[in-house]
Structure 1
Amino acid sequence: MNYLIIEGYKSAAVNFAQEANMSPQVDLDSIQERVDIRHAIHHGDIQTAIERINELHPDLLETNLPLHFSLLRLQLIELIRNCTQSPDGDISEALAFATTHLAPRAPGNSKFLQDLERTMALLCFPMENLAPPLAELMDPALRRQVAAKVNEALLEVQGVSKEAKIRRLVRLRAWAEQRMKSERREMPNMDLGLDVASQTSDDAMGA
């Protein structure tokens, strides 16, 4: 349940709660709200994502300045992406957005300033021949990174752990395996009852 809620699988969480006869940890409608915001970011509709965040938690972006700047910079990148799709693209909208929304925030923060300068450099080079540090900004992976940060921030506001407990268990298992290998010891066999094929075989034999 914890994993389904954090990762945004509302339908699966509802079904799981019904089948397990348990109460969800959070309002299930909040799952869909986070999913909608994440989808907007994944599709480059950053303005919609910002508006939805402000509707749900008006103080979140005001108090989390790095997250707000990341969203605004991503919105600038989307504007640059749109205006550079054709040789005659108008960059005035991107310049105006940077001047109004990002430039005032950058001088007091060295990282903000560095990120803004690197983003504005996209306007100076052809999109098909960008250096790796600039090409990273145009990669859809950046949308996913920002969406993940937004999801974590929303979960924190809702009082939910920003990472699924099962992920921590997987990391702990990997760490234990690595430790055992470094000590040249065999990992003990821990049967968690998750081997479906084995269970099916045992059931058949019992029948």
Structure 2
Amino acid sequence: MDYLINEGYPSAAKKFAMEANIQPSADVESIQERVEIRNAIHAGDISTAIERINELNPQILDQNSSLHFALLRLQLIEIIRNCTTTPQTDITTALTFATSQLAPRAPTNREFLEDLERTMALLIFPPENLTPPLAALLDPNLRQIVANRVNEAILSSQGARREARIKNLVRLRAWAEQKAREAQKDLPPTLNLGLALERDAQNGSGGGGDSAMMQGDGDAEVVTS
């Protein structure tokens, strides 16, 4: 339940509560705003996401310049994606947005400046000739990374736990198994409890399990026994 609420899966949380015969948390009803913001980012509608974040709590972006810049850079990437995939390429919109929204912020942080320069390089090279670092900017996984950061920032602003307890438990279990194997304890070849998060912990990844649990409607499947 804790994981489903924090990660923003209201339908799955309700289903889990019903099948496990437990009282639904009030938080289940309050996560729809985070779900809508997450879905907007996944769809590439960053302007709507920023607007919804500010409606929810304007201090989130005011007090987190790194996250604000990441969202604006992602919005620039989406603008570049659109203008470079049309028959008649017009980069005016991208240049105007970069000049007005990102350029004033870039000098305040060296990483911001480097990120902006890298992003603007997308206007120079055709998509089929991009180097791996530039191609990664157009990878939909970047949307997922930014969406996760936004979700954590919202939870933090609401005084909630930034990371569901189940994630920490899975990582702890993976660590304990690794130590036991290093000590050559008698263990079966695999100790799989059926959690997608376990594979992430064993592979050293922190975010892939969320997408692995996703279903077609953007919510998660819950299996109870």
Task: Specify the TM-score bucket, using the shorter chain as the normaliser.
Answer: 0.7 to 0.9
Structure 2: 5+ residue runs without aligned partners? 195-224
> Structure 1 residue 58: deviation in Å?
1.2
Once superposed, what is the RMSD of the aligned Cα atoms?
2.1
Q: How does 1:105-184 map to 2 (within 5 A)?
A: 105-184=105-184
Bigger proportion of residues as helix? 1
Distance 2:28 2:57 in 1: 17
Paired amino acid for 1:158 = Q
Instruction: Give 4+ residue runs of structure 1 displaced > 6 Å after superposition.
Output: none
- What CA deviation, in whole Å up to 9, does each residue of 1:116-158 have, x standing for no partner? 0000011110011100010000000000000010011111111
Structure 1: 5+ residue runs without aligned partners? 195-199, 201-207
Larger Cα Rg: Structure 1 or Structure 2?
1
Query: What is the aligned length?
Result: 191
1:38 paired with 2:38, answer yes
1:20 paired with 2:21, answer yes
> Structure 1 residue 17: deviation in Å?
3.9
SS in 2 for 1:107: helix
Distance 1:183 1:164 in 2: 30
SS in 2 for 1:113: helix
Paired amino acid for 1:22 = Q
What percent of counterpart residues are identical?
A: 62
Distance 1:62 1:173 in 2: 38
- Could you tell me which residue of structure 2 aligns to residue 11 of structure 1? 11
Paired amino acid for 1:20 = N
Distance 1:21 1:88 in 2: 57
- TM-score normalised by the chain length of structure 2: 0.79
Distance 1:181 1:65 in 2: 43
Q: Which has the higher contact order (CA 8 A, sep 6+)?
A: 2
